[in-house]
Amino acid sequence: MTRRRIILLGATGSIGDSTLDVIARHPDRFGVAALTANGQWEKLAQLCLTHRPDVAALSDPDAARSLERALAGSGVSTRVLCGEAGIIEAAALAGADTVVAAIVGAAGLRPTLAAAGAGKRILLANKEALVIGGAVFMAAAAQGGATLLPIDSEHNAIFQCLPQDYARNPGASGVRRIVLTASGGPFRTRPVADLATVTADQACAHPNWVMGRKISVDSATMMNKGLEMIEAHWLFGLSPEQIEIVVHPESVIHSLVEYVDGSVLAQLGHPDMRTPIAQALAFPDRVDAGVPALDLVRQGTLTFENPDHERFPCIGLAANALRAGGTAPAVLNAANEVAVAAFLAARIRYTDIAPACAEALSRLPTRPVHALEDALAADSEARAVARAWLRLPEAA
Ligand code: NDP
Ligand code: MG
C-alpha cells in the first residue's frame, strides 16, 4: 500500500474539515502535503500544527504574513505561500499525488486546472470549476493525465454505481439515464409567498447536511442541483435528457443509475460527506470514514417527489444553460455567485437570486468556449450584469 500525500485546497471549509477527519483516521495511508485557504490564517495555523504539511498557502497576502509569523518558532517547518499564484503552486506541488479541490466558487477554477495540468488525482468538490470551464477543464485533465474522482455526494454515488471501465467506453455501458436526488432544502414546504422575506440564516439551516454558506443557499434555491446537472454532464458525458432530478427529502439515497435492462443501481448512506470523501481518497480500496451504519428499519420510509419548478426556478435556468452550452453555464454560475454573496450579506432578497441569474442569461449572448479566456470573459460580464440588475456597487 502506497501512502498517499494529499494537497487540500479549501482546507478551512466544510469539505476541508471532513477530509482532514478522514485523513486523521488513517495516518498509515494518508499524509498532508499542502493546505490552502483564503483568509482564515488562525484556523490554518492550527491545522499546520496538527498535520505538518510541507506547504501552506493563503490567497490573502496579509493573512499569509500572519500565518508565517504564527508558525515561526513553532517547530513546524511548513513553507508559506501567498496569493492566487501561491495556491496554484500548492495545487501542482511535486511529490503529492492527490488534490482535494474544495475551494468554493470560481476562485477554485485556476488552482484546480493547475492540478489537472500536473496530472494529479483530483477529488473534485468544487463543482463551479466544471460549470464555468467544463470543456477546458476536461481537456486539461485528459492532456495532463489527471484522474477525476467526484466527491460531490450525488456524483460520487453515480461513480460508485457505474461500471469501473465506464470512462473508457461510456457507449457500451448500457446506461440509460441517471437520477440525481435532491433534499429540497429548508424551503421545500414553506409557502412560496413567504420566500421574499427569508433570511440568510434560515436559508443556511439545511435539514440534512452541514455545509458552507454558499452551497447551503444553492441548496435552498436548488441552484445546487442545477449546477450538479452540468457537473454530471461533464463528468459522465451524459446528455441533458439523460439527467433527471428527483426530490428525496431524507437524503439517504444519494443518486441512481438506470440501465437499459431496467436495473436501477443506487448508493445509500447517512448524509455525511466523509463517506464520498473516504471512498475517493482510498479508491479502489475502502476505509472506515467514521460514519455510523445505516439502519433501514429505523429510517422506516424513503419518499420521493418531482421538483416544484415554480418554487425552484433555478433548476430550469440551469437546464436551459446546459442545453445552450458554450458560455451559458459560466454566465449562470457567475450571476449566481454575485447574487448569493449579496443575499448572504443581507443586501438583496432571497427571491432576487433567480431573476438576477435569468437576467444575465437573457442579456448575454451564448458564445462558444474555445479557451479558458472565453469562459472567464463571460464570467466577468455576467457579474457586471448581475450587479447592475441587483443595484450593487461595483466591487460588492
Ligand atoms: P466553505 O465555504 O465551507 O469553504 C470554502 C473554502 O474555500 C475555505 O477553505 C475558504 O478559505 C476557501 N476559499 C474561499 N474563497 C477562496 C479564494 N478566493 N481563494 C482561495 N480559497 C478560497 O465551502 P464548502 O466546503 O461547503 O464547499 C467547497 C466546495 O465544495 C464548493 O464548491 C461546494 O459546492 C462543494 N461541495 C460542498 C459540499 C459540502 O458538504 N460542504 C458538498 C458537495 C460539494 P477561508 O476559510 O480562508 O475563507
Ligand atoms: Mg451534491
CA–CA gap between residue 59 and residue 201 (Å, rounded): 27
Nearest atom within ligand 1 for CA of residue 126: 32
Say whether pLDDT at 207 is over 90: no
Specify the ligand 1 atom closest to the Cα of 218: 34
Mean per-residue pLDDT, 376-385: 98
- Beta carbon of 123 within 6 Å of any ligand 1 atom: no
Does the structure show a pLDDT above 60 at 396? no
In short, whether 141's Cβ falls inside 6 Å of ligand 1 is: no
Report the alpha-carbon distance of residue 329 to residue 366 in Å, rounded.
9
Cα–Cα distance, 178 to 162 (Å, whole number): 10
335 lines ligand 1 (CB under 6 A): no
Residue 208 has pLDDT above 90, yes or no: no
Among residues 215, 371, 283, the alpha carbon closest in space to that of 22 is found at 283
Q: Which of 7, 9, 59, 104 to mutate for ligand 1's pocket (most ligand atoms within 8 Å of CB)? A: 104
- 0.75 surpassed by pTM: yes
The ligand with the least distance to the CA atom of 275 is 1
Taking only the tens place, the pLDDT of each residue in 36-58 is 999 999 999 999 999 999 999 99
Note the ligand closest to the C-alpha atom of 155: 2
E strands, the chain, where?
4-9, 30-37, 55-58, 79-82, 98-101, 121-124, 147-150, 175-182, 243-247, 253-259, 264-268
| Residue of 15, 20, 112, 379 to test ligand 1 pocket, by largest number of atoms within 8 Å of CB | 15
The verdict on the CB of residue 10 being under 6 Å from ligand 1 is yes
Length of the chain: 396
* Calpha distance 231→237 (Å, rounded): 10
Does 87 contact ligand 1 (Cβ within 6 A)?
yes
Q: Mean per-residue pLDDT for 273-288?
A: 98
pLDDT above 90 (res 206): no
CA–CA dist 155, 162 (Å, integer): 10
Atom of ligand 1 nearest to the CA of 103: 7
Query: Averaged over 25-43, what is the pLDDT?
Result: 98
- Residue the block writes with cell 454515488: 157
* Ligand 1 centroid – CA 35 distance (Å): 13
Does residue 209 line the site of ligand 1, with CB under 6 A? Answer: yes
- At 210, is the pLDDT very low, low, confident or very high (cuts 50, 70, 90)? confident
Does any ligand 1 atom lie closer than 6 A to the CB of residue 150? no
pLDDT confidence bin for 2, thresholds 50/70/90: confident
Instruction: Report pLDDT for 393.
Output: 87
**Which of the pair, 369 or 209, is modelled with greater confidence?**
369
Q: What is the pLDDT of residue 171?
A: 87
Q: What is the pLDDT of residue 395?
A: 63
The CB of 342 under 6 Å from ligand 1? The reply is no
Confidence of residue 23 (pLDDT cuts 50, 70, 90): very high
Residue from 131, 114, 140, 1 nearest 57 by CA: 114
The torsion angle over the Cα atoms of residues 250, 256, 146 and 13, rounded to 10 degrees, is -10
CA neighbor of 380 nearest in space, from 130, 106, 136, 86: 106
Is residue 177 within 8 Å of residue 244, measured between CB atoms?
yes
- Report whether pLDDT(194) > 70: yes
Q: Which three cell numbers stand for residue 355?
A: 431573476
Residue 253's φ and ψ, nearest 5 degrees, are: -85, 120
Average pLDDT for 158-165: 96
In angstroms, rounded to a whole number, what is the distance separating the alpha carbons of residues 114 and 90? Answer: 9
User: How many angstroms is it from 50 CA to the middle of ligand 2?
Assistant: 29
101-159 residue pLDDT tens: 999 999 999 999 999 999 999 999 999 999 999 999 999 999 999 999 999 999 999 99
Average pLDDT over residues 348-360: 98
Average pLDDT over residues 322-351: 98
Cα(89)–Cα(81) distance, integer angstroms:
8
